[in-house]
Structure 1
Amino acid sequence: MRRLPIRSLAVLAAVGTLALTGCGTDTGDPGDRGDTTAATGAGRTIRAQKVMQLTKAHEETGMTLLEGPTFDEDGSLIVVDVTAPEGKPKVIRVDVGKKTSRAVRTDGQGAYTSAQFSPYDGRLYLTDYRGEIVSLARDGGDPRTFFSGEVDGAPMNPDDLAFDREGNLYVSDTRGLSEGKDQGRVVRIDRDGEKATVLADGLAATNGISFDVDYRGLWISELTQNRISYLGVDAKGAVTSRHTAIRVDGGIAQTDSIAVDADGNLYQGLHGRAAMVVYNQHGERLATVEVPGSAEGLESATNVAITPGGRKAYMTVSGPAGGYLYTFDALAEGVRQSNGG
């Protein structure tokens, strides 16, 4: 397995081309206005509200990067810090009501880029950008390597993941990003970890991945092309179709992780801007979720988890000012597709 220097890991894991130079340790408090909406020409603007700060920029890596929010069955929120060094919390459990947090995992190796609970065995699965997928018991103990090694003769750089109803994994592989080549893939791994199959390749730094509400296909964001593609799959995981679905006008920002709510709306995280754009399944832009004070040291809104059965959404936001949780009211209720990955 290829070992990357921490600079490359920070650049390539989940956020693409974020340069570490200039990422300081400023912990100033970003703006905190209420959750309000305003009409715009491209859907409404939703202003998110700060919940709490979780991390500061690490001296060892020069940054912090929160990802993979996912709710446990007890209502606590699990978040990962991609760039946390050895001895610092890499997996964090948050009580959003009490605004408290505690470390779940602090190992010295993993560069975890997403988290999600399996519907098959109930364990917490983490993608490790170094080339592995690991699982933990719900309390953070009993670590196991679920999958590692090459797929079709090439190592993976797993970024995000999605589960089907039976617990099989669908993984976005950002292979080729460091070389600037469109070698990204979507890989399906059987729930026992024994068989891995490439469903799609030639993608532009595959990042976000989520099933639609009917499990008929996968929404996939391609970071270096600022587009969302749709990959139709059948019940056995075979590909039935593939096309470019949405072209994201992000400017300097790039497409990061994806979540889907009960109405089928897509929440597209942005790297390079502390904001998230929301589309319906037909590609119409419905809203932009903005973080007030984002010019004060917050640079990316990578991912979101919507409370299962509710509309309260929690977004991971990071930058030189630190790693934060922000909240807003989603357009529809949360489902499995809007809870991690």
Structure 2
Amino acid sequence: MRRLPVRSLAALATAGTLALTGCGTETSGSAVGAPAAAGADRTIRAHQVMQLTKVHEATGMTLLEGPTFDEDGRLLVVDVTAPAGKPKVMRVDVRKKTSRAVHTDDRGAYTSAQFSPYDGRLYLTDYAHGEVVSLAPDGSDSRTFFSGEVDGAKMNPDDIAFDKEGNLYVSDSRSLSTGDARGRVVRIERDGKKSTVLADGLASVNGISFDADYRGLWISELTQNRISYLRLDEEGDMTSRHTAIRVDGGIAQTDSIAVDADGNLYQALHGRAAMAVYSKHGEHLATVEIPTRPEGLESATNVAITPGGTKAYMTVSGPAGGYLYTFDALGKGTRQSNGG
């Protein structure tokens, strides 16, 4: 896909996306897709934590993404469309409802964030420039971890998943504007020196996350509204691939994916401020909704679940600004539900 200006990139890529009160559930007919059994079709109400950003005059929008917790339990969030000089990575104090800048630069359009289990650094995907950048945990010491072509084609890296050894698995969206099936899943060795295409022919692949047992990858294809499963061998190579879930999103499209300790999938929706929750067997379990669906909040891009807990924080954005919402997840948070 040709390089897009930041304004177009954010609109197409979606990557793209706190009063600590409990969240109830209720029966509702508004969930995405068909429930697996009677009573499964329920709505989880998310509650607003705080507004983090306003629409940037320089780029015409704001788009929050990549929520992730550091080793001290502090939440970080990226703003895909932040212009030079404005915070591109923010640290959020969810109790005090405050945020502060961690990193900015004059070129990056960062669509995801996740800490490496290998070196403890924060890794960011720069969709616009086809790069993966790493930072020290405090936001300093910016380094280009990976740049250049993979099998003769430049990447548009969107989301990241790390295996236990710290190797990166990246969703390479490509052809997002046309919907052509040229997207890829790329594996990058933890030292950044070798890259391998694990899967191609994907329709604007966006979300990516390991399953609870690290036996395979869940990926979402934005322009086909489907979630596929890639089974991996012990070397991290793909052995099979199949369509696992078809998301009936209407005008909404499948964005980022997170997986909790029970193996449940949290599928973010671009074009609707909601997330669909599925079991690993494809059963639709619930839909996470914001209570009033206010005008100007159009997309829920991503979620981070507190490691070892069930408190979840969802990034929601639109013309009204960028917001953080919270809800109670169905399972506990792990690395697969913490960034990416």
TM over 0.5: yes
Contact 1:52 1:99 in 2 (8 A): yes
Residue identity in the other structure for 1:313? A
Contact 2:7 2:61 in 1 (8 A): no
The one-letter amino acid paired with 1:36 is G
Give me the TM-score of the superposition, normalised by structure 1: 0.93
- In 2, Cα distance between equivalents of 1:34 and 1:119: 31
Which amino acid is 1:199 matched to? Answer: L
Trace 1:1-341 onto structure 2 (pairs within 5 A). 3-14=3-14, 35-40=23-28, 42=35, 43-130=41-128, 131-341=130-340
The CA RMSD over aligned residues, in Å, is 1.6
| Counterpart-to-counterpart distance in 2, 1:257 and 1:149 | 24
| Contact 2:115–2:122, Cα closer than 8 Å, also in 1 | yes
Alignment partners' CA distance in 2, 1:244 and 1:99: 40
Amino acid at match of 2:202: L
Deviation at 1:315, TM superposition (A): 0.2
The question of whether the paired residues in 2 share the 8 Å contact of 1:220 and 1:229 is answered with yes
* Cα shift at 1:108: 1.2
Is contact 2:163–2:214 with CA below 8 Å preserved after alignment? yes
* CA–CA separation in structure 2 for the residues paired with 1:55 and 1:328: 20
In structure 1, distance between residues paired with 2:11 and 2:319: 14
Which amino acid is the alignment partner of residue 295 of structure 2? E
Q: Quick one: percent identity of the two aligned structures?
A: 81
Tell me which amino acid in the other structure corresponds to 1:148: S
What letter matches 2:157 in structure 1?
A: P
Report the Cα offset of residue 35 of structure 1: 2.5
In structure 1, give the amino acid aligned to 2:117: P
The letter of the residue matching 1:238 is D
Q: Is the 8 A contact 1:188 1:199 kept in 2?
A: yes
User: TM (normalized to structure 2)?
Assistant: 0.93
Q: Is the 8 A contact 1:259 1:267 kept in 2?
A: yes
Q: Give the number of aligned pairs.
A: 326
For the residues of structure 2 that align with 1:292 and 1:8, how far apart are their CA atoms? Answer: 29
Write out per-residue CA displacement over residues 236-286 of structure 1, whole angstroms, 9 at most, x where no aligned residue. 111111000000000000000000000000000000000000000000000
Q: Give 1:3 shift.
A: 4.5
1:97 to partner: Cα distance: 1.5
Partner in structure 1 of residue 38 of structure 2: none
Unaligned runs of 5+ in 2: 30-34, 36-40
Instruction: Name stretches of at least 5 consecutive residues in structure 1 with no aligned partner.
Output: 17-32
Q: Deviations over 1:31-84 (max 9, x none)?
A: xx9732111353210010000110001111111000000001111101000011
**1: CA distance between counterparts of 2:65 and 2:59?**
16
